[in-house]
């Protein structure tokens, strides 16, 4: 897992043709807006979260975010334990995000 600044996270995301953006916030938070093309898996889902993560392609690179960076850091750590080699946490989360936000 790597904690990346918004600048580094964005730069790596846009340069990566094998990337997936993963939003681990609650559905109520997601309804406030998402980073475009993000898939949503709520980290508070317990075993459902683990099951959903295990269905993802481990060969992809995951750019993970939450509201402030804490939950997404935990999600990256869980992903690493499950065999994902490339999970990148957005420090500061969507709260500090200066890029595009779309509605669901």
Full strand arrangement of the beta sheet holding 87-90: 2-4, 87-90, 61-65, 19-23, 39-40
CA distance 30 to 104: 7
In a domain, 70, yes or no: yes
66 catalytically annotated: yes
In a domain, 24, yes or no: yes
Q: Name, in order, each residue with C-beta under 8 angstroms of 51's C-beta and a sequence gap of 6 or more.
A: none
Catalytic residue among 43, 64, 66, 76: 66
pLDDT score of 11: 96
CATH number of the domain encompassing residue 91: 3.40.250.10
In a domain, 49, yes or no: yes
Examine the pLDDT at 95 and tell me if it is beyond 90: yes
pLDDT score of 77: 97
**Domain limits at 31?**
2-96
In a domain, 62, yes or no: yes
Strand partners, 88: 2, 63
Domain count, the chain: 1
Mean pLDDT of the chain: 96
In a domain, 103, yes or no: no
Examine the pLDDT at 104 and tell me if it is beyond 90: no
In a domain, 101, yes or no: no
């Amino acid at each position: 897992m790597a904690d990346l600044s918004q600048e580094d996270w964005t730069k790596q995301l846009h340069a990566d043709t094998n990337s997936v953006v993963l939003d681990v916030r609650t559905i109520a938070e997601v309804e406030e807006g998402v980073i475009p093309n993000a898939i949503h898996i709520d980290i508070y889902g317990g075993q459902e979260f683990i099951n959903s993560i295990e269905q993802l392609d481990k060969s992809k690179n995951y750019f993970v975010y939450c509201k402030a960076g804490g939950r997404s850091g935990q999600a990256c750590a869980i992903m690493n334990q499950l065999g994902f080699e490339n999970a990148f946490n957005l420090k500061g989360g969507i709260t500090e995000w200066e890029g595009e936000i779309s509605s669901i």
